[in-house]
Amino acid sequence: MGSFGVANDIKKQIRHSKRKVQMWMSKFRAVKPGKAVLVVAGSPKLEVYETDFGWGKLELIRAVIQGIVNFWMGIFPLLQSVLDRINASCRNFLWGKADIGKNKPLVAWNKLIFEDYQFSLLSIYMAHQISQEPLKILEQCRVTPKPGSVPSTTLPLTFFDVPFFFSPPFKRIFFYEFPHPTLYFLQTTLPILKHSLSLTLQHFFPFSSNLIVPPQQPHLSHIRYLDGDSLSFTVAESTADFTLLTSHSPQDAQNWHPLVPTLPSPLVEQDGTRVFPLMAIQVTVFPNSGFTMCLTFHHIATDGKSLHHFIKFWASLCKAKGNLASSLETSLSLPSHERDIVKDPKGLKLNYFQELEHHESRSVEFAGLVGDVFTNTVRYTALLTHEQVEKLKKWVSIKCASYTDGTVHISTYMVLCSLFWVCMIRSEESKSNSVAQNNDEDEVCYLLIPADCRHRPEFSLPSTYFGNCLATCFVAMKKSELVGENGIVGVANAIERLIRDLKNDPLRTVETAMPEFKQFGKSTLIVSGTPKFSVYQTDFGWGKPKKSFAAYIESSGWICLSDCRDEKGGIEVALTHERIRMNRFITIFEEQLHNINKF
């Protein structure tokens, strides 16, 4: 034994290994900085394709080749020609073909790898890009109407507002192209945005107000504005890929979370009164690419019609550089805040608050109305051209005529709700192939549709009324009816009857809204938005938005309709699903459109 009890042969091995390490280190030092170096890893002797756990070649392709591709896509985009070559190699390995250019496979390659490939390459790359670039907050401030321009005001809640008492915040985001540096935006554009917003809040002051909830007396809740009240305004910078974020391809729903502001936490006054802010705005700059504006607001303040009135008023003022007279002459009228004209002869407001006092009713916080929120959700915007919409309406009209005796009024809104509801139900994964073993086919599904009541003679409200004025209607159908051959036609007929009943008695649905919320389960689809909001006509002076969507669509329980940016009469429909289900939905949706186009 030598010193420290180490055997001589071991010492020799250590000295030999040390010399090898020193030799390798000298070789690495010889590589000059900036020189291209290729590192070769792996070996054919590893025989990775002989590793079969029983799942066959397809699973090996998914696990090995696509895993490698996904890894490198997380670092930098691969050329399409490279991806095509990888696909060809995998395809021919699967079918045992030696020649890439010959012999068609038995099954379309995209059908085999659609579930992983379409989403994984793009969404993993996007998620990596965004997660690697944290948001930089440039400014956090408050924007208020000009001091003294708005008197202290109290607005009572109406029975239209109360159903949204426990509603989560709603969010709308706009993307605008702006090929200039951040500093240029901060110096030239931001001041105009803030100034025009301050002027706009003089007329839309509820958004800078607070919801006041007295202790133990929620029925006395109201909206209060005091001189100096303001809304939260955040300015941030992001180096995420603006082009990827504004594409219509399926994308990870979490990609936009950094762009969405949160409402400030409520305050509690000395007597226990809770004070809830009603709006927050965030502007995020993408240097030399564009910027986003996202508005988060509490639905108890107003509905979508009033929100877009506010946004377009702000946009018009901004475009006019703050010239209110010029803006009013060429664009929009002022809002009406006359809450006392909303009559409540049946005492619905008090009844609604009594319903909310029950713990079960607090689930109207929409925990039960919105579908499950998954961590791996994918947001997708379906685009329908004007021609596709007209073919769909014609197809539904002909089908309805063969099943009903009377005349059915066919609208764009009706056929879109019917198509998407049926496709979404069909995309649900069946838990069992046997109806006898599973009563899933007998499950009742619900479609919730909001209807604007401003024009109804029973209410006689001006079109500029600021606040909620929605009657929530619903269609109930068994899942077996929806997935059947005539599912779309059945839904269209049900919606047509619902609209007819609403015209005859709009208060009927309003009276029963709160109690009926309790019966809705997770098989409920809520329709929000309408092409009539014309979101792509929101021009702040930089042209129409590159993209706009409802950022609150975070679960499978919602769809949102809007006009189309690039085609008059076209429609965009935004939805969110868990990844695998989104694959099924897109396949079913495209097949349905294909069948309708052939009709």
Please tell me whether residues 326 and 410 are part of one structural domain.
no
Please tell me whether residues 483 and 541 are part of one structural domain.
yes
Please tell me whether residues 477 and 335 are part of one structural domain.
no
Task: Give the residue from 130, 160, 186 where a domain finishes.
Answer: 130
**Does any domain span residue 371?**
no
Using one digit for the tens of pLDDT, what is the confidence trace for 525-564? 999 999 999 999 999 999 999 999 998 888 778 999 999 9
**Does any domain span residue 366?**
no
Using one digit for the tens of pLDDT, what is the confidence trace for 187-218? 999 999 999 999 999 999 999 999 999 998 88
Please tell me whether residues 254 and 319 are part of one structural domain.
yes
Q: In this prediction, what percent of the chain has a pLDDT beyond 90?
A: 45
Mean pLDDT for 236-246 is 92
- How many Cα neighbours within 13 Å face the side chain of 458? 15
- With 80 as the cut, is the pLDDT of residue 2 above it? no
- Per DSSP, the residues of 208-268 read GSEEEE-TT-GGG-EEEE-TT--EEEEEEE--S-HHHHT--S-EEGGGGGGGS--PPPPEE
Read off the pLDDT band of 116 (50, 70, 90): very low
Task: Give the residue from 103, 130, 157 where a domain finishes.
Answer: 130
Q: Give the per-residue pLDDT at 119.
A: 42
Taking the C-alpha atoms of residue 70 and residue 599, their distance in angstroms, rounded to an integer, is: 40
Please tell me whether residues 161 and 190 are part of one structural domain.
yes
- With 90 as the cut, is the pLDDT of residue 392 above it? yes
Please tell me whether residues 542 and 409 are part of one structural domain.
yes
**Does any domain span residue 483?**
yes
**Does any domain span residue 365?**
no
Q: Which two tokens stand for residue 253?
A: 């729903």
For position 266, which CATH number holds?
A: 3.30.559.10
- With 90 as the cut, is the pLDDT of residue 227 above it? yes
Q: Which of 116, 440, 452, 539 is catalytic?
A: 539
Report the range of poorest mean pLDDT among 79-93, 383-397, 423-437, 580-594.
423-437
- Per DSSP, the residues of 538-599 read --SSS-S-SEEEETT--STTEEEEEE-SSSTT-EEEEEEEEHHHHHHHHHHHHHHHHHHHH-
Using one digit for the tens of pLDDT, what is the confidence trace for 513-528? 665 666 666 688 999 9
Residue 42 exposed, middle or buried by CB count within 10 Å (0-12, 13-18, 19+): exposed
Please tell me whether residues 383 and 507 are part of one structural domain.
yes
Mean pLDDT for 176-191 is 96
Mean pLDDT for 411-434 is 81
Report the range of poorest mean pLDDT among 256-270, 359-373, 418-432.
359-373
Mean pLDDT for 136-140 is 95
Q: Which of 203, 299, 309, 577 is catalytic?
A: 299
Please tell me whether residues 63 and 91 are part of one structural domain.
yes
Mean pLDDT for 261-272 is 93
3-state secondary structure 449-511: EEEECCCCCCCCCCCCECCCCEEEEEEEEEHHHHCCCCHHHHHHHHHHHHHHHHHHCHHHHHH
Report the range of poorest mean pLDDT among 99-113, 122-136, 191-205, 573-587.
99-113
Between residues 101 and 139, the one the model is more confident about: 139
Using DSSP's 3-state secondary structure scheme, residue 39 falls into: coil
Report the range of poorest mean pLDDT among 93-97, 148-152, 346-350, 493-497.
93-97
- With 90 as the cut, is the pLDDT of residue 302 above it? yes
Sign of CA dihedral 492, 495, 501, 506: negative
Task: Pick the closest to residue 246 from 290, 281, 189 (CA basis).
Answer: 290
pTM for this predicted structure: 0.75
Structural domains in the chain (count): 3
Task: Pick the closest to residue 348 from 534, 545, 508, 231 (CA basis).
Answer: 508
Q: Give the per-residue pLDDT at 217.
A: 87
Using one digit for the tens of pLDDT, what is the confidence trace for 274-287? 999 999 999 999 99
**Does any domain span residue 222?**
yes
Give φ, ψ of 578 to 5 degrees. Answer: -65, 150
Q: Give the per-residue pLDDT at 110.
A: 46
Using one digit for the tens of pLDDT, what is the confidence trace for 455-477? 888 888 999 999 999 988 888 99
Between residues 412 and 332, the one the model is more confident about: 412
- With 50 as the cut, is the pLDDT of residue 6 above it? no
Please tell me whether residues 233 and 333 are part of one structural domain.
yes
- How many Cα neighbours within 13 Å face the side chain of 362? 4
Task: Give the residue from 130, 159, 189 where a domain finishes.
Answer: 130
Q: Which two tokens stand for residue 56?
A: 């066959």
Using one digit for the tens of pLDDT, what is the confidence trace for 7-66? 565 556 556 656 665 665 566 555 555 555 555 656 666 555 555 444 455 555 555 665
Q: Give the per-residue pLDDT at 130.
A: 47
- With 90 as the cut, is the pLDDT of residue 400 above it? no
- 299 catalytic residue (yes or no): yes
Domain holding 90, by residue range, is 19-130
Please tell me whether residues 213 and 344 are part of one structural domain.
yes
**Does any domain span residue 261?**
yes
Between residues 428 and 441, the one the model is more confident about: 428
Please tell me whether residues 234 and 350 are part of one structural domain.
yes
Between residues 186 and 508, the one the model is more confident about: 186
**Does any domain span residue 10?**
no
Please tell me whether residues 555 and 497 are part of one structural domain.
yes
**Does any domain span residue 411?**
yes
On average, the pLDDT of the chain sits at 79
Between residues 48 and 68, the one the model is more confident about: 68
Contact assessment for residue 192 and residue 270, using Cβ atoms and an 8 Å cutoff = no
The C-alpha angle 537, 473, 514, rounded to 5 degrees, equals 115
Taking the C-alpha atoms of residue 375 and residue 181, their distance in angstroms, rounded to an integer, is: 34
- With 70 as the cut, is the pLDDT of residue 375 above it? no
